Amino acid sequence: MSMDITVNINGKEITVKRGTTILEAARNVNIHIPTLCYHDDLCISGICRICLVEVDGERTLQAACSIPITRPVTIKTHTERVRKARRNVLELMLANHYGECYTCFRNQNCELQKLAKEYGVDALKFEHVTEPRYEQDKTSAAVVRDKNKCILCRRCIRTCQDFQGVGALDATHRGYDTQIQAFYDQPMADAVCINCGQCITRCPVGALREKDFSDSVWQAIDDPSKIVVIQTAPAPRAAIGEEFGLPPGTSVTKKLNTALKMIGFDYVFDTNFTADLTIMEEGTELLGRLKDLLVDRKEAVLPMVTSCSPGWIKFCEHFYPKLLPNLSTCKSPQQMFGAILKTYFAQKAGINPANMVVVSLMPCVAKKFETDRPEMTSSGFKDVDFALTTREVAQMIKEAGIQLTQLEDSPFDDPLGLGSGAGLIFGATGGVMEAAIRTAYEIVTGEEAPFENLRVTPVRGMEGIKEAEIFIPKALEEWSFLEGKTLRVAVAHGTANARKLMDIVTQGIAQWHFIEVMACPGGCLGGGGQPIPTSEEIRKLRAKAIYGEDEQLTLRKSHKNPQVLKLYEEFLGTPNSHKSHELLHTTYTPRGVF
Amino acid sequence: MKLESRNNQIAQEVIEIVEKYNFQREKLLQILEELNDSYGYLSEFVMKEVAKNLQLTTTEVYSVATFYSFLNTRPKGKYIIRLCKTISCVLAGKNAVANALRNELGIDFGETTSDGKFSLEFTNCIGMCNQGPAMLINNDVYYHLDPEKAVEIVEKYQ
């Protein structure tokens, strides 16, 4: 049986491999077939019926996304029958779609709206719901659901179950009563949801969104008695340009600083600073655990797992509560920043921390939940008041009438605006590991990590799980117990991949010493708070922007960050000191699933 | 019986049924049917126990349980009256029967009487199209109904 089949699409002959879907074949020759339930990241579902095409020899129209080509066929993608059917499908969806476009956060970025325009829907033949059927679910600290807008495409379900391995949502009931629900119709706050927000970035309409705090932030900015400080994470810089028409992978770090200043933030700081601080704390913690094991022959919980990703933390609390001791006790860079701002910086700048409002710009939805954790108040106040997503900040910039792309560059503010390239690459999967290797290797051996131009390539890239071995040929005296040893590390992004690693750790057969986990695919740059849409290609471009920016910096190692060293000298003492533990470390809550 | 020991007992009963089906996920429907028969409905606790034992997510179990009309995820009356709502029964006079049942029981479809005795529901076709209107009370079939006959039948269950 030949593997190659010649098909004819709209008069174009094309040879494809047996089993190629009609959609893929059409894309190869630049023929556009509309899709809704289909998503590049997800498995095929074939339920929305918008991609119907005419296939000769088939009585009915076929869903292009899910029909594999197994014989030489003639396919037509825009006959009258097809056009009518697609318009019908859209009109039926719109009949149940409650919500006005101009009050929807997806206005102008909605796949249903776009298709309705493209396919000439000019009247609602099947009428239209005029009253909401469901109440909005605003119970969660991070994710807001509006089932009235849901078109039941099940992208969120596939994202949650297959892509993230969580399974917070599923379709319940049947027919007209079908809803996307958590177990036993629980509100989102009670669901086994890790707040990663991946469902939001894949929802074609406005049925899922983040809890919006931009109005609260505006209020703080407008209040003259408040000092409003913003810290910006690395990933949004490589993506926020997309909201302003720039191609994915355009870094706008310094223009963003200008925009945030113009909005009215009193200080604009760089979360890379506390990313560097994280490396100091986490690196010391790891070396401490290794010392416990190798020198003091004590029980040490290994492998140690990173704790920067709040989605991952909640995943671990739910699904692997027994592995919580493996997590680094370090807070995430966002929370470290809050704690440092309301203590060290407040003292230094003579600001009453009670009047300080700490805002963070994050690529992340789970960060909102993290700010609300009761243990995140070590400064005596809520360490971070509001976590905003890239999308919310883009909205604020637009609301202020600022043309981001036209702005001058401006630097971060002193003293907490200095971050290294190592802190910057926290935004990509493998970045924390790379930053840790750059620092740990040098601290242990006194020499730079043996990678060309400090590119730790084994931990870069988009494979779900990456592994690397770092041999330590000779060590400084203090670390002599590591001489001749090999440090084994692993990196996972997307919690479905993390699950694979954690299953191995649970079995007790893991050989790794250190594991980096990011809840979102691609790491933070593919976060749930990033501009919509997302795809593997977009994530790769964002990663390229981040790594590119790192190479332009002269400061590329966390332990060389002079501001971090100054912070230790003036305030914290040494990494993992008593004070560090008070401010920069945290505890976790076993939650379970059932 | 204390709640905890009652729950332990239910958990044990769930394990027994799941074990009977060799912990096979594809037997989920049969397992839910048996549990639905034993307890009258699938409680939150029962579904969690099923999910745990089959290594499914709780939402998957809930999704299946709510898909099927004959599986209950909320407590129901002792007798569940299911009146066929499909076209042939409608043409044969289902609406009049429905009204008679509403009046007799004082509840609407989708509700349960306050004494917990009757639940009133519509069902899709039960295959009695030539003898409609038809209804089920638990597993018993009644057909050729008219308002009086339907009320008489329900009275027998009172």
Burial A500-530 (b: 16+ CB within 10 A, else e): ebbebbeeeebebbbbbbbbbbbbbbbbbbb
DSSP-assigned beta bridge partners for residue A16: A5
Residue A421 identity: G
Average pLDDT over residues B92-96: 96
Alpha helices in A426-552 (DSSP H): 431-445, 495-506, 536-552
- The percentage of residues in chain B with a pLDDT greater than 70, rounded to a whole number, is 99
Contact list, A318 vs chain B (CB under 8 Å): none
- Residues of B whose CB is below 8 A from A172: 62-63, 66-67
Side-chain-side CA neighbours of residue B146 (13 Å): 1
Report the pLDDT averaged over residues B143-150: 96
Residue to mutate among A145, A152, A159, A170, with most B CBs inside 10 A, is A170
Same-domain status, A282 and A192:
no
| Residue A463 is a catalytic residue | no
Q: Collapse the DSSP code of A136 into the 3-class scheme (helix H, G, I; strand E, B; otherwise coil) and give the result.
A: coil
**Testing the interface with A: which of B66, B68, B74, B123 to mutate, by most A Cβ within 10 A?**
B66
Whether complex ipTM tops 0.85: yes
Residues of A in contact with B63 (CB under 8 A): 170-172
Residues A130 and A31 in one domain: no
- Does residue B16 surpass a pLDDT of 80? yes
Does one domain contain both A151 and A14? no
pLDDT at B1: 62
DSSP A549: H
Judge whether A290 lies within some domain: yes
**Full 3-state SS string of A277-297:** HHHHHHHHHHHHHHHHHHCCC
CA angle at A377 for the pair A373 and A378, rounded to the nearest 5°: 130
The pLDDT value given to residue A553: 95
Q: Identify each DSSP E strand in A25-107 by its residue range.
A: 52-55, 62-63, 74-76
Domain holding A38, by residue range, is 4-78
pLDDT tens by residue, B32-56? 999 999 999 999 999 999 999 999 9
Instruction: Give the distance, in angstroms, between the CA of residue B125 and the centroid of all CA atoms in the same chain.
Output: 15
- Residue B69 has a pLDDT of 87
Residues belonging to chain A with any Cβ–Cβ distance to chain B shorter than 8 Å: 161, 166-174, 181-184, 192, 593-594
Q: Are residues A469 and A491 in the same domain?
A: yes
Which of A153, A177, A210 represents a domain boundary (last residue)? Answer: A210
**Contacting residues of A for B57, CB less than 8 Å apart:** 161, 166-167, 170, 183, 192, 593
A411: preceding bond cis by omega (within 30 degrees)? no
A301 and A438 inside one domain: yes
Q: What is the predicted pLDDT for the residue at A123?
A: 87
The verdict on a CB contact (< 8 Å) between B73 and A182 is no
User: 10 Å Cβ neighbour count for A62?
Assistant: 19
Tally of domains in chain A: 3
Q: Are A194 and A164 a contacting pair, CB within 8 Å?
A: yes
Number of Cβ atoms within 10 Å of the Cβ of A370: 28
Q: Residue A276 and residue B59: Cα distance in Å, rounded?
A: 40
Paired strand residues for A358: A229
- Is A294 inside any structural domain? yes
Q: Do A169 and B59 touch (CB under 8 A)?
A: yes
Per-residue pLDDT of chain A (594 residues), as tens digits, is 668 999 999 999 999 999 999 999 999 999 999 999 999 999 999 999 999 999 999 999 999 999 999 999 999 999 999 999 999 999 999 999 998 899 999 999 999 999 999 998 988 889 889 999 999 999 999 999 999 999 999 999 999 999 999 999 999 999 989 999 999 999 999 999 999 999 999 999 999 999 999 999 999 999 999 999 999 999 999 999 999 999 999 999 999 999 999 999 999 999 999 999 999 999 999 999 999 999 998 888 999 999 999 999 999 999 999 999 999 999 999 999 999 999 999 999 999 999 999 999 999 999 999 999 999 999 999 999 999 999 999 999 999 999 999 999 999 999 999 999 999 999 999 999 999 999 999 999 999 999 999 999 999 999 999 999 999 999 999 999 999 999 999 999 999 999 999 999 999 999 999 999 999 999 999 999 999 999 999 999 999 999 999 999 999 999 999 999 999 999 999 999 999 999 999 999 999 998
Q: Please check whether residues A425 and A448 belong to one and the same domain.
A: yes
Name the residue among A45, A26, A28 with its Cα closest to residue A36. Answer: A45
Contact assessment for residue B43 and residue A150, using Cβ atoms and an 8 Å cutoff:
no
Q: How many whole angstroms separate alpha carbon A460 and alpha carbon A429? A: 7
- Residue where a domain terminates, one of A210, A231, A253: A210
Q: Can you give the pLDDT at residue A111?
A: 97
pLDDT digits (tens, 9 = 90+) for A219-243: 999 999 999 999 999 999 999 999 9
Distance between CA atoms of residues A205 and A119, nearest Å? 17
Q: Is A248 part of any domain?
A: no
Do the Cβ atoms of A111 and A44 come closer than 8 Å? Answer: no
Distances in Å between the Cα of B98 and the Cα atoms of A106, B70, B107, B138 are 44, 19, 11, 17
* Spatial distance between the Cα atoms of A107 and A39, rounded to a whole number of angstroms: 20
Residues A449 and A530 in one domain: yes
Catalytic residue among A210, A370, A392, A516: A370
What's residue B3's pLDDT? Answer: 80
Distant-in-sequence, close-in-space partners of B45: CB < 8 Å, separation ≥ 6: B7, B10
What's the pLDDT score for residue A180?
97
Give the pLDDT band (50/70/90) at residue B153: very high
Query: Do both A319 and A449 map to the same domain?
Result: yes
Q: Which pLDDT score, from 0 to 100, does residue A1 have?
A: 60
**Residue where a domain stops, chosen among A184, A210, A236:** A210
pLDDT of residue A3: 87
A208-210/A304-305 β-pairing: unpaired
A438 and A506 within one domain: yes
Instruction: Tell me: do A447 and A529 sit in the same domain.
Output: yes
**In this structure, are A533 and A578 located in the same domain?**
yes
